[in-house]
Each structure stands twice: as C-alpha cells, then as structure tokens.
Structure 1
Amino acid sequence: MHSVFSISRFGALLGCAVLGMVALLGSANAQPVRVKDLGKLQGWRENALVGTGIVTGLAGTGDSPSNRGARQALSNAMSQFNLNIAPEQIQSRNVAVVMVSASLSPFSREGDTLDITVASVGDARSLVGGSLMLTPLKAVNGRIYALAQGPLSVGGYRYDANGNVVQKNHPTVGSVPGGATVEVGVQAQVLSEHSRMTFVLSEPDYTTANRVADAINLRLGAGLAQARDASGIEVYVPEDQRRQVVSFVAKLESVTVEPDRRAKVVLNERTGTVVSGGDVRISKVAVSHGDIKVSIRNEVAASQPVFIGNAGDGVRTALVTNTRVDVDEQNAGTGFISGGTTVSDLVQSLARMKTPTRDIISILRAIKTAGALHAELIIQ
C-alpha cells in the first residue's frame, strides 16, 4: 500500500524555448465606437417608484393573524368601501402586506405600462396565487406617478404539512409584467436654459473626453463641443438646430471616436479566468519555476519466528512497516521575458504548454508585484 501527494512551488519555467513558442498577436488597436455607446446625455436617468400594497387570494400562506400591519392594512382597505372592520377582528391568513417597486423611464407618457416587483414585508410564507390590490406608486418627491395591480407571477413555491416543508426559490417575491400604468408622464430635460447639453462618459477618462469633443467639432461644427472634465463634454446647440433637437442629438450620437482605455488585467481565482487587453505590456523580467513531487510508499512485511514449532508463549507473527520517501525535483531554471512582451503573448504561450490557469494567475500576480506588469490588476 502506498500514498502519493504533490507539493507545487510557485512559478513557471520560461526559457528560450518557451519564448520561441510565443505567438505574436500584435497590439489590439482600438476600433471606432459610436459616441452613443460611450455614455449618455445628462438628465437621461431612470426614476425609482415605490409603494405599499396588499396581496390577496393566498391559500393560507399570508401574514399571520398576529401581524398588526397586515390587519391594519386590510382594515384601511375595507374602510374605503364603507366596510368598517376593526383591525383586531380580522383573522385571515389569505392576505400579505408587500412593498411594490418599479422603474420609470426618462420619457414615460400617460398610459405606458411598467413592470413591477412585489416583495413581502411581513411573515407570509408564500405569495403564490395571490393578486395585488390597486397600489399607488410614488417617487421621492411624494407624488404619485403610477398605479399598480394584477395577479402575481412567482418563480417558486412552498408547501408544508405535518412539519414537512418543500420549497423552491423565493416564494415571497413576485412580479407583474406590465402591472403598473403611468398616470403622470415625465420628460427628461437634456437641453439647459443656455442651449447647451452635457454628454457624460460611462467610464471617465481625460483622453477619451478630449477625443469625443474633437470628433464632435469635426463632424458637427467647430467650437460646439468642449471637454469640461474627465467625464463631461459640453455641447452647444446652434440656434438653427434648437427646434430640431432630436435630429441634432441623433447626429451627435452617430459620431464615431476611438476611445482610450486604461490597461487592466482581470483575474478571477474562483473560476480561473484571465481577461486582459491584447496590448498590455510586460517589461523585462526573470521568472523561475520548479516542481517538487514527494512520493511516500508504505511497504508492509510479515516477520515470522525462525522455529515455528518450538515457539514459546507470547511469540507470534509480527507486521513490519517500512516507509520509503522519494523526492523528485524537476530541473528548475530561470527564463527572461524581453521588454515589450504583452500579456496575451505570455498567456497564449503558457496555455500551449498546458499550464493550469491558476498557475498563470499566480505568475501574473508575481510579475505585477515585481513592477513589470504595467496595468491595473483586478482580482475578483
């Protein structure tokens, strides 16, 4: 019988033969991208709506009778229909108090429908089969912008009987597609009183902002755009275009530019994923690698007495265990990465050598620690 285990030391052997296997991918040049895909106009934003409602029609899986909030909410709802029932007289588990949320788009108009999410706030066990009563949805300013109601769609269930519980996903959260109707429309204000609009980059960068401003001036007219900071480009709307703002914005969004980008390498140790730009450079650095394999074998032998027939009392066969330890160390060496090598070159050559992804991650982290990887290392 024997047992074997391996101990791996950090590193990777990058000799001249390895460097000869590197496939030259070349620098990944940035491709022209529409301004529309780099950000949005200031004022273009979603608006959060929220409200408190009641889900009815539950099959005994609603809030417990001891829940004062559910009893009070149901009593208030009944009073609107001239049914005066004291909260303490309500003993029902077919209702549940919920929070209703939705998102109002920048250019929503009266009559548009919104998808809503319904979540229990009490001790209800499940919202399966329930229907949301008419619920007003308010914004942070306290004004009602939409009304929600309708049967819930719950992607789960919960059933229990005699102490046995069967549950799938989260049955206390549901949704109603198109369950809210907009009562008050909103209009995003993208044009200021000084006939200017501001384009905001999704990823702030001074170089990209300057390029966007130059591209807009080249396409729409000199002096119209000016980069104010790393994320905002202020655009002046000419007088003859102010009555055709939609057409002007369409032309603005169709302007193409080559965005600049920061050098980043993303490492995910949980999944063993390495994502990097093709042009991330590595300076000249030496990397050493070696593996130690330790093999432990236990050999069991039987030791018999010399004269079996004349053995005295207490003499018996003995088992003797001999342990054998073998250490196999592969030839370790030091390889040099020449300046100008990219991360994609390094990763591709290591992949061709069938190097495990987690070892590649360790190598990149060590190169970054040595100051030879000129990129931001993001570890997830």
Structure 2
Amino acid sequence: MLGWSALAVGLLIWLGWPMDAHAMRIKEVAAVQGVRSNQLTGFGLVVGLDGTGDQTAQMPYTSQGMTNYLQQLGMTLPADAKMQMKNVAAVLVTAQLPAFARPGQMIDVTVSSMGNAKSLRGGTLITTPLKGADGEIYALAQGNLLVGGAGASGGGSKVQINHLSAGRIPAGAQVERSVPTPFALGDSIELGLNSADFQTARRVAQAINDRMGAGVASAVDGRVVRLRAPANPDERVNFLAEIEEIPLEATVPVAKVVINTRTGSIVMNQAVTLGPCAVAHGNLSVSISSTPVVSQPNPLSQGQTVTAEKTDIKITQDTGALIKMDAAPQLADLVRMLNGLGATPQDLLAILQAIKAAGAMNAELEVI
C-alpha cells in the first residue's frame, strides 16, 4: 500500500515538472500596468426570507437600515414603532469592477450576512449602491440570491449542507460610472511582470524587439518592461494584442521549497537540487494505558470504597539507520531519495529543514 510519504512526495513530480519551453506566451507572465479591476462594496438589505432573518433586538442596524429605506420611499414611521423583521437581513455586498467597464454593463455580486440571520436562501436584495475606495457610487446592485446550501432544524436537531449566510447574484449589479485608465495616455505602455525576475524581464524585452523591431521594448528593472506604443487607440490595441501572443521561452524559476506546517504539504519546483549528505531517521512513539483499580476496606472497618487508576507509560523508539543520499541534480532523483527514507510528510518537514541547514540543498525554504 502506498504510504503518505510516497503519495505526498510523489505528487511533487507532477507539480514541479518543467513545462514545454515554447508553451508560454507573454500574456502569461506580464500584464499592462494600470489596467486592473477595482473593488466595490455597499451595505444592503435582503428581504423575503422565511423567518430566517436578523433578530432585531441584537441587530439594531437592520431596523435602522429598513427605516432609512422606507423614508426614501416617502414613508415615515412613528418614533415608538417597533419593527419585527424576521424576514429581513442586513448584508454587505461586494463586487469587482473590471477594467474598461462601461455604464450599463452587468457584473456579478456577492452578498454576505453581517448579522445573526440563519439563512439568506430565497431572499431578494433591494437596491444597494456600491462604492469604491474614493466614496463614489460605481454600480447599483439588486436581484434574487442564489445560495448553494440547504438546512433544516426541529426538535433540537439541526442539519446543514454548505453555507447559508452568503450567496451570489449573477449579473446582479449595473455599472453606473466608468473608471478612467492610463491605457490611451502617453506614448509608452508599461508591462508589469507577475513576479520580479531580471532574467524574465530581459527575455520579454528581447522577444518583443525580435518581433516588433529593435528599440520597441526596454527592461526598466526586474518587474517592468516599457514599450513604445502607437498613439492611435485602434493601432495600440492591435499592438498589444500581437505582443501578448508572442511565445516566450520558459525561464528556470528560483529554487524554492514551500512547506505548509499545518497540513504537512511540501511543494518544490524543478530548480531544487541536492548535494551529497547522510540522513538518520527514527520514529519515537509514546503509549499510555490506564486501568481502573477498586480498593475495598475490610469488613466492619467502616471504611469507604475508593476507585483509582493505574497508569502505564511505554516509550518505543525505532532504530534509524544512517542513509546516504547522493547528489540529485534532477527533481525526480530528489523525490526518489526522499521516498526511500520512508518518512511521513510531517517528518519530511524537519528533514528538509535540516538538509537546508547543513548546506546540502540549494533552495529557499518558505513556510506558509
């Protein structure tokens, strides 16, 4: 049977195997700077719930929000009016305004309960302004929620599938204001690499100059490549569309081993190599057993029966032989030798850190 160590480390081959050198395009490693999405958020109310809304006594902002909404509709409630709104829930509505979005376009929104509502299933979001970081309204959201969960309760028992306090409205917001972008301004465009790497920046600039002509692209630093772009908007779009499809030879990434100490996951890329070293690994187990013991007094002694426990502690340590690990210039060799140790993923975390500390691994360890 395949052990956890073989399964976890064997997965590294699939995750770290190098891609085809000609399968990468510039659009996979870089994006136009300034062309990005913007986060929108707003406070709203979901109505039409089947008694699963907020409890008004604990959530005063729900009744306040409904009062403000009714006032906008021309309805004024008495000051001493007490509203029971089990069918209403206060929510936060979030969305992403994509680049080049124009008024009238529809975007998806996410609705999340901010109170103690039991479920948003079957609810309807009433008109909610969505604002950006500058406080301006960029979209209006409204619509029926789609909640993927389900639940039922009764007699003190409760059954729930998935999450009921959040939902989504596809095409639930209409864009009201566009965000200007520097795409059509100036005589140059900057490409921002997804990760800072001088070798990648140089290869991107060289590939663009080979296709579009010398002097079109220049690497500013390890993150930015500047392009001389046409002034005409239509020509500029065609210019960038052609650049994004230029094939780029894959670069060898920085050797890195990513370790997740919470789950025991280990991921390493194809640049990780190992020098000659020796590793001794042994398992230590502690077993504790408890046996109840009853102590009874002698007859006519007027004593009391006492219950106690007898605890036995046993420590077992398996022998660990010193295993020689030869130099591994390829990822497959490194994975095969780590599997040969017979260690669990949690043990491999400590082994890899020790190998790195001994100077036998030329990789950066990142713990997440």
Does the Cα contact within 8 Å between 1:225 and 1:233 map onto a contact in 2?
Answer: yes
Counterpart position of 1:337: 326
1:281 Cα offset (Å):
2.1
Q: Distance in 2 between matches of 1:90 and 1:57?
A: 19
CA separation of 1:283/1:29 partners in 2, compared to 1, >3 Å: closer, same or farther? farther
Does the Cα contact within 8 Å between 1:26 and 1:279 map onto a contact in 2?
Answer: no
Show CA shifts across 1:305-362 (max 9, x none): xxxxxxxxxxxxxxxxxx9x99997683452524x63443122244367554444444
Q: Distance in 2 between matches of 1:228 and 1:65?
A: 58
Q: Distance in 1 between matches of 2:347 and 2:109?
A: 46
> Residue 71 of structure 1: which of 58, 63, 88 is its match?
63
Matched, 1:172 2:188: no
Extract unaligned runs of 5+ from structure 2.
1-15, 288-311
Counterpart position of 1:115: 108
Counterpart position of 1:234: 226
1:372 Cα offset (Å):
1.5
Matched, 1:346 2:334: yes
Q: Secondary structure at the match of 1:72?
A: helix
CA separation of 1:359/1:86 partners in 2, compared to 1, >3 Å: closer, same or farther? same
1:211 Cα offset (Å):
1.6
Matched, 1:366 2:354: yes
Matched, 1:48 2:36: no
Does the Cα contact within 8 Å between 1:347 and 1:360 map onto a contact in 2?
Answer: no
Show CA shifts across 1:277-308 (max 9, x none): 334222333x1426579999xxxxxxxxxxxx
Normalized against structure 1, the TM-score is what?
0.74
Counterpart position of 1:262: 254
CA separation of 1:52/1:271 partners in 2, compared to 1, >3 Å: closer, same or farther? closer
Q: Distance in 1 between matches of 2:79 and 2:212?
A: 66
Q: Distance in 1 between matches of 2:320 and 2:90?
A: 69
Q: Distance in 2 between matches of 1:65 and 1:293?
A: 56
1:251 Cα offset (Å):
1.3
Does the Cα contact within 8 Å between 1:108 and 1:187 map onto a contact in 2?
Answer: no
Normalized against structure 2, the TM-score is what?
0.76
CA separation of 1:87/1:224 partners in 2, compared to 1, >3 Å: closer, same or farther? farther
Per chain length, whose mean CA-contact separation is higher, i.e. which structure has more relative contact order (CA < 8 Å, sep 6+)?
A: 1
> Residue 188 of structure 1: which of 181, 187, 190 is its match?
181
> Residue 132 of structure 2: which of 94, 114, 139 is its match?
139
Where does 1:83-122 land on structure 2 (aligned, <5 Å)?
83-86=75-78, 88-93=80-85, 94-122=87-115
RMSD of aligned residue pairs (Cα, Å): 3.3
Larger Rg: 1
Residue 335 of structure 1 aligns with an amino acid whose one-letter code is: K
Extract unaligned runs of 5+ from structure 1.
1-24, 297-322
Residue 150 of structure 1 aligns with an amino acid whose one-letter code is: G
Tell which deviates more after alignment, 367-376 or 85-94: 85-94
1:124 Cα offset (Å):
2.4
